[in-house]
Every structure is written in structure tokens, then in C-alpha cells.
Structure 1
Amino acid sequence: MRAGANATARRRIGPQTLPEVTLSEDGEVRFLHLGTEWIQGSMIIDAPFDIELDYVQRMMAWLLFVEPDTVSKRRALQLGLGSAALTKFHFKALRMHTTAIEINPQVLAACRGWFKLPDDGPRLRVVLADAGQEIRNPAYTGNIDALQVDLYDHEAAAPVLDSPDFYADCRSVLTDEGVMTVNLFGRDASYERSLQSISAAFGADAVWAFKPTREGNTIVLAQRTAQRPTRMQLLARAEEIQSRWGLPAVKWLRIFKPVD
């Protein structure tokens, strides 16, 4: 979760105030909560490595900008573990080297105990750390192809880290073909302010966005190096993503476009 405004955010979610993790189920789906009714992640109990929520599926839109045959050779990084849906999908379905950064040890324990997150190994690692500090670790610089940012406090009110400086740190970890996807959801969040911060760090010509989900999640995508594939190129890529990995990528194209 991350300088100036980010320092205040880190104090708000420091170790002494980390919320308690709770679980709920509806029979088919298990949900992760952080001490409130707000859903922080989910898992289909009989398909634990699938991605259940629409907005989490949209976090995978970085696949539209890389050759599918190269995916397993790439590296993914998640800031915020949630219910580990993204971490598991990158590791299991995409066969990628995957790292997640999570500040709350209870979340990690819940993911290992209740959400089928595998143990750390040669291709999988979970780091218990403040993501705003850990992302500045030189080990990540220029090495990440797919970065997902989903950093919310227990009230799901606004992104915990949302400044131009933070997004510049995010850009610095990406390879030339690297892509960041961010979940911008919150009752108190300003989408336009967040979008301006992302554009300031990446350049407006490198930023794409989905329409909001019914629940209000807006996924924004930013490229380290701006590229604008044609509609036909995107469609061909989306069809292959859908065929290989079962993600609804063709539908994405109706609700996904450059912001500039």
C-alpha cells in the first residue's frame, strides 16, 4: 500500500491499525473482508484459480499489449494481495514469475489457509512490506512486465497510494513493454484526480481506461511506452486471450479506450 500525501496514508494503515481479516461465503463463492462488509476479494470455491470478479478480470488487460507466446517468460508484480486472485492467475494460468507485496500478515495467512494461494517457490513470492517503500527496491527497477495496483484501506474509501510520485515509482519498475493496471474505486476517491496523477507519471498518450463496473470499479491501464494498436490488432489479440485463458477479452474492447 505508499511520499507527502503517501506518508499520511502509510500512517493511517500502519501495523498498529491493520484491520482484522474476516471471511464469508454464499455457497459457491468465498469472500475476503477487512473488518467491514466491503468485499476485498473473492474466490469460486470449486474453481479457485479462476478470476471471479469483473473488475479483477479487467486488471488483466495488459495482455492486450504483448505477444501471447511471450507471456510465460515475463514477470508480474501485485501491490496488494487481496484474495490472491491475480497472484494465483499469473502464477498458475499464465505460468509467470509472480511477486505480490502485502502489508497485512493476516491477509497472507487467509490467502494461504482459505484461498488456495500456493507456498512461495522459485516462481512465486509474497513480500510482507509497505508497497510504497518496497516498490523502490532496486531489484524491481525495469524488471516488471505486468504491474497490478489494488491498494485500499479496510473501509474501501479511496486508494491508499495515489500521488504522481507513487505512479512515477510504478513506472520505474516496468520494462519497455511493461503495463500497469490500477483499480480506482472508492466512495471518496476522485477519478479525475487519480487519472491526472497517472497521466503526469506516464504521459496521457500512454493511458487507457475501462468504463466503470456496476459496482463502481474503474480500471485504468498505463504503458511504460505508449502504443496504439489498431482495432483489428486488438480484436485478434483479444480473441487469442479468450481462447487461451478464458478471460472475456473481446467484451473488454467495447468498454476500453485511450483517455487522450
Structure 2
Amino acid sequence: MNIEISEEAGVRYLHFGSDWVQGAMRIARPWSLELEYTREMMACLLLRAEPEWPRRVLLIGLGAGSLTKFLRRHRPEAKLTVVEIEPAVVAVAQQHFKLPTEDEQLRIEIGDGAEYVMKKGRPYDLILVDGFDAKARAGALDTLPFYLNCQARLSNQGLLVCNLLARHKGFRASLERLQQAFDQRAIAFPSCDSGNTVAFAARGETIALPLEELRTSTQALKASTGLNLLPTLTRLEQSSTCAGGLLSL
């Protein structure tokens, strides 16, 4: 894999042999989420209000390690497992994107994420999927068997969050596969300007959050972590995602 790094205006970017950005880090704030879609993936923290959630997280696809670093900083008690198929990506994240050193709370495995979720093991409260090749293809990470295996590896109140690229064939087929795997309990937020669409799928108790309640929790999350999801909330309000002013999942 041809891995390249560029920098502009205080931001370092990761590329897989093309102009397409695979990850980004503001050098002065390496734990912040620079790309809009990574911020929206962390909207999962609004859907489960428990302060100690999530306790166990599986991240499939490392990139620049943005999600890993954010959770490491703001959910320090969570046990994080990262599965990355390309060893060179891990090396670059360590050398150029300040990926934390492995310890009891952080474990990095070189392997295929689709194969990893087929294994038996302790359930995860949160599974984050953001894996693409140099041509922006998700491969086995966007299939019904994969989503079914993710569903089986989640805890009773678990969430699956996927970055779906809408720039090629759109994300509708991906969302339909997610809905099939999770008994229709999957939604997609309105697409980001970058062409990324973030989808959420849930197990356990039904999530039904009024937009006003979401606004309050969004402001609290911004105060505690610096993560600003107010633009996402505005897009949700203007879309048909929240019928009757209610986010249901």
C-alpha cells in the first residue's frame, strides 16, 4: 500500500496513494476529531446517556487513529480493541499521528475486521467501522454477513456505527443490509459535505430521544469534550430523519 502524508494549515492528512483523505489530525490538538464524519460517528455518545458507556469498544479500521485517540482521552476507562488489516497503517499512525502506546486499555491487532467479528468472545458495547482500501471500497465490511456478525458481538445495549461512503453508488443498499441485520433498527444521518454517511444500528432498549433533549445533551457533550455536534443536530432537524421531532432507533 502506498501511504502518503500531507500537511496544510496546521493539519496533517493521511492518504492511501491518492488525494482522498483517509484521516486527519490537527497537530496542536491530536485528540480532536478534525473530519466531520468522525465527529458524527461519536454522536453515538448521545444515544446512550450512561456516563460510563461504552466500557468495551471495537474499532475496525485505524486510519490516523482519530476515534481511538478521542475515546482514549474522553473515555479513559473504556477498553479499546483496534483491528487494522494493514501493518503499515499502524506504523504510520504511531510515527506521524500520535497513536497512543498499547496497554491494558488499548490493544491493536493486525487482521481482517470481517474475520475478527466471526470469532467468539466477550461482547462489545460499541463497534465502530471505518475501513476502506485505496479506492474507497469497504469490501467485506459492507455485507450482510458482516453486519450480522457485528450484531452478534454486541452487548444487550450495544451500538454499531458505520462510515458509509455515498460518493459512488450511494448508501441505500448498505443501509438496507444494516436494517436487515438489526431487525430494521438502523438509521443513517444526512450525508456530510464530504460524501460520508454515518449509520447507526442498535440492540436492546428502544432509543426515542426528542430533539430538545438531544440539544441539551449535545451542549453537555461539547462542554465536557469539546466535540461540537450542534451542526449535525441542525441537519437532523432539517431532514426527515427525526419524524415528529423524535430520533428513534
Q: Do both share a fold (TM > 0.5)? A: yes
Contact 2:114 2:140 in 1 (8 A): no
Change (3 A) 1:160 1:36: farther
Counterparts of 1:153 and 1:80, CA distance in 2 = 10
Give distance in 2, aligned partners of 1:174 and 1:92. 23
Residue of 97, 105, 114 corresponding to 1:115: 97
Match of 1:31 among 13, 16, 29: 13
Which string of whole-angstrom CA distances, capped at 9 and with x for unpartnered residues, describes residues 5-50 of structure 1?
A: xxxxxxxxxxxxxx12111111411111112221100100111111
1:213 aligns with 2:206: no
Change (3 A) 1:111 1:215: same
Q: Give 1:231-246 correspondences, 5 Å limit.
A: 231-246=211-226
Look up the match of 1:155: 135
Distance, in Å, in 2 between the alignment partners of 1:216 and 1:159 is 18
Written as runs of structure 1 = structure 2, the 5 A alignment for 1:77-92 is 77-92=58-73
The match for 1:181 among 152, 161, 172 is: 161
Q: How does 1:1-260 map to 2 (within 5 A)?
A: 19-71=1-53, 74-95=55-76, 96-140=78-122, 143-157=123-137, 160-204=140-184, 206-225=185-204, 226-256=206-236, 257=241
CA distance in 2, matches of 1:240, 1:103: 36
Counterpart AA for 2:59: Q
Corresponding residue SS for 2:208: coil
Partner SS state of residue 67, structure 2: helix
Deviations 1:61-82 (A, max 9, x none): 11112225223x6111111001
Query: Could you tell me whether the CA contact under 8 Å between 2:17 and 2:134 is conserved in 1?
Result: yes
| Per-residue Cα deviation, 1:177-200 (whole angstroms, up to 9, x for no partner) | 111111111543331111110000
Deviates more, 1:100-109 or 1:20-29: 20-29
Provide the aligned length of Structure 1 versus Structure 2: 238
Please, which runs of 5 or more residues in structure 2 have no aligned partner?
A: 242-246
Contact map agreement 1:76 1:90 (CA 8 A) in 2: no
Q: Which moved more, 1:153-162 or 1:44-53?
A: 153-162
Report the identity percentage.
32
Matches of 1:186 and 1:37 in 2, distance apart?
17
Any gaps of 5 or more consecutive residues in structure 1? Answer: 1-18
Matched residues in 2 for 1:159 and 1:237: separation?
35
Which position in structure 2 is the counterpart of 1:9? Answer: none
TM-score, normalised with respect to structure 2:
0.89
The CA deviation at 1:255 is: 2.4
Counterparts of 2:98 and 2:56, CA distance in 1:
21
Pairwise CA RMSD of aligned residues? 1.8
| Greater RCO, 1 or 2 (C-alpha within 8 Å, sep 6+) | 1
TM-score, scaled relative to structure 1: 0.85
CA distance in 2, matches of 1:235, 1:188: 32
Deviates more, 1:26-35 or 1:45-54: 26-35
